[in-house]
Structure 1
């Protein structure tokens, strides 16, 4: 079906040596002090050591709780969309205490959904890829381990009512069409496939439990097995959403892409069609993300410093443009596969 996708992201919750001290001066220091206070309300023994990751939305602090190492995630931007996401993630970790998934996940230590604060154990391991779209294909063994973990998770069926369906497919298709990201024919084809999938699934439905953000940067690799982190999008999707996400970010791994396509098709025509719908939506989202990033880089006139880029640094404007071109090529390939699938219905 689809043979032979690159935003960069800093390391996830893997183990790097703890070092340094927190700078609590200035406006950013005030934000950190507020975040630490919210952690101490639910986990008084948490001793912060360093900032693991920081964005305009949230901060990840690594520290100790007694003899173990922990990661605290605190929301900085309490807009409804971000508050809802971290509450969804907290609910996921709480449900994992009662119903263990078939993959390794960090243990929940403490959580406060009202203040959007989460404390989990820090898992050993190295992140499967530092970038959202790896510039070079990761080793095949790493891809195999990540894919195996995702497939085990997708075969799991947590109890009814534990998770909801985070993605409204009809709404997402319509919104991308309104934004000019999907043509009239794209929208019609995708709607036909979604309708056909629902018809073939019957009353029992055809949902598959998915991580919802199955990037290699959300998977830690360790001798004890892969660990999945960042569960804010977990829930029920049309089958193949996680596989479509992995396919989209593995643009430099054609062998892995073929394997993912074969896996997606192995469960029959309805599963194949669901994978194609997911793939079109994932690729369209990535195109929108990188078109925005390219426009931003064109307005930012500050030249990049010479020398090699930091492994977790944001991609340069030129790298973003190359990635965007590849994403458009991938989307054309997915579009052709969607049209072929509609033709066989």
Structure 2
């Protein structure tokens, strides 16, 4: 969902910062959201993508800064998968290498994707979880999970009796590296090459199964079999209870998002689907671990 942000949260795109960068030659605009615009171009003879932050909201400024830090960390300690080379970073502008391939889809909840795409996304996420990042921004918890659980419960987004099972699930195993935002629009599928993810603004340490639970949620709207595959992978790795807990938390977040945007996203069918999924996810968690 790329809803337009309020005027108060918008700042002029840092066009001047790009236009006056020696060696920069703009090409086509690839995508515009409520927080940023991405533009293809050339940088000193290299194919690149420039990302301009267009929101002044504290949250997105922080995420943009984290993304820059992520690419710098990848430079210092390259992971075992392709990541874009960082060419330039400014206050509102990020220029990275343009990797081959294109996004499988741009919808948050895409229609049923080809099986090889789903497999590629799952493989990429399991690869993330197997990697140990170096000390620094990528080795830090992505958020304070116990605090988030308490905040959601206090706001009425979670039943009181699931607080303790959720807390136990997200703290019962060491955190693993995760992408944190495995949207189809954040993936690149190139012919004859493994699918890769880009946009590391939410990258960090997560409970095991968190990435898979989020991918399963987004793909499962139109492809329940994809969600089942994600759950099976989590079960095979011994992370099913964390997967189930994170599915409850991700659904609570999606419900909050759609509640906030209900006036602009009048999709009652999807909101009902989210509500039904949340009820089922809580029931599954309680059946597995017990809720008091």
After TM superposition, the score normalised by the length of structure 1 is 0.76
Paired residue for 1:39? 18
Aligned-partner SS, 2:263: helix
Residue 237 of structure 1: which of 180, 203, 206 is its match? Answer: 206
Paired residue for 1:169? 145
For residues 216-265 of structure 1, what are the alpha-carbon distances to aligned partners after superposition, in whole Å with 9 as ceiling and x for unaligned?
Answer: 22111002221211100101111111101111011222222222111111
Distance 2:175 2:164 in 1: 22
Paired residue for 1:48? 26
After superposition, where does 1:202-281 map in structure 2 within 5 Å? 206-223=174-191, 224-251=193-220, 252-268=222-238, 271-281=239-249
Paired residue for 2:41? 63
Q: Aligned residue pairs: how many?
A: 282
- Residues 1:296 and 2:243 are matched in the alignment: no
For residues 74-131 of structure 1, what are the alpha-carbon distances to aligned partners after superposition, in whole Å with 9 as ceiling and x for unaligned?
Answer: 222233322211110001001111212222222211112xx13210122221212220
Question: Given that residues 165 and 290 in structure 2 are in contact (C-alpha distance below 8 angstroms), is that contact kept between their aligned partners in structure 1?
Answer: no
For residues 288-335 of structure 1, what are the alpha-carbon distances to aligned partners after superposition, in whole Å with 9 as ceiling and x for unaligned?
Answer: 1122222334xxxxxxxxxxxxxxxxxxx3xx2222111112111210
Paired residue for 2:6? none
Paired residue for 2:7? none
Residue 159 of structure 1: which of 128, 131, 134 is its match? Answer: 134
Distance 2:67 2:252 in 1: 24
Query: 1:266 deviation in Å?
Result: 1.6
- Residues 1:146 and 2:121 are matched in the alignment: yes
Question: Given that residues 57 and 75 in structure 1 are in contact (C-alpha distance below 8 angstroms), is that contact kept between their aligned partners in structure 2?
Answer: yes
Query: 1:149 deviation in Å?
Result: 1.3
Indicate the structure (1 or 2) with the bigger Cα radius of gyration. Answer: 1
Distance 2:30 2:17 in 1: 17
Aligned-partner SS, 1:127: coil
Residue 106 of structure 2: which of 120, 125, 130 is its match? Answer: 130
Distance 2:284 2:194 in 1: 34
Query: 1:38 deviation in Å?
Result: 2.0
Once superposed, what is the RMSD of the aligned Cα atoms? 2.2
Residue 254 of structure 2: which of 277, 281, 286 is its match? Answer: 286
Question: Cα distance 1:232–1:258, how it changes in 2: closer, same or farther (>3 A)?
Answer: same
Distance 1:247 1:104 in 2: 23
Distance 1:37 1:189 in 2: 51
Question: Given that residues 86 and 232 in structure 1 are in contact (C-alpha distance below 8 angstroms), is that contact kept between their aligned partners in structure 2?
Answer: yes
Query: 1:133 deviation in Å?
Result: 0.2
Distance 1:161 1:57 in 2: 26
Residue 120 of structure 1: which of 89, 96, 99 is its match? Answer: 96
Aligned-partner SS, 1:53: strand
Query: 1:211 deviation in Å?
Result: 0.4
Question: Given that residues 214 and 242 in structure 1 are in contact (C-alpha distance below 8 angstroms), is that contact kept between their aligned partners in structure 2?
Answer: yes
Question: Given that residues 181 and 284 in structure 1 are in contact (C-alpha distance below 8 angstroms), is that contact kept between their aligned partners in structure 2?
Answer: yes
Distance 2:128 2:165 in 1: 29
For residues 18-76 of structure 1, what are the alpha-carbon distances to aligned partners after superposition, in whole Å with 9 as ceiling and x for unaligned?
Answer: xxxxxxxxxxxx934xx1322356x4211123332233422222221233321111222
Question: Given that residues 102 and 153 in structure 1 are in contact (C-alpha distance below 8 angstroms), is that contact kept between their aligned partners in structure 2?
Answer: no
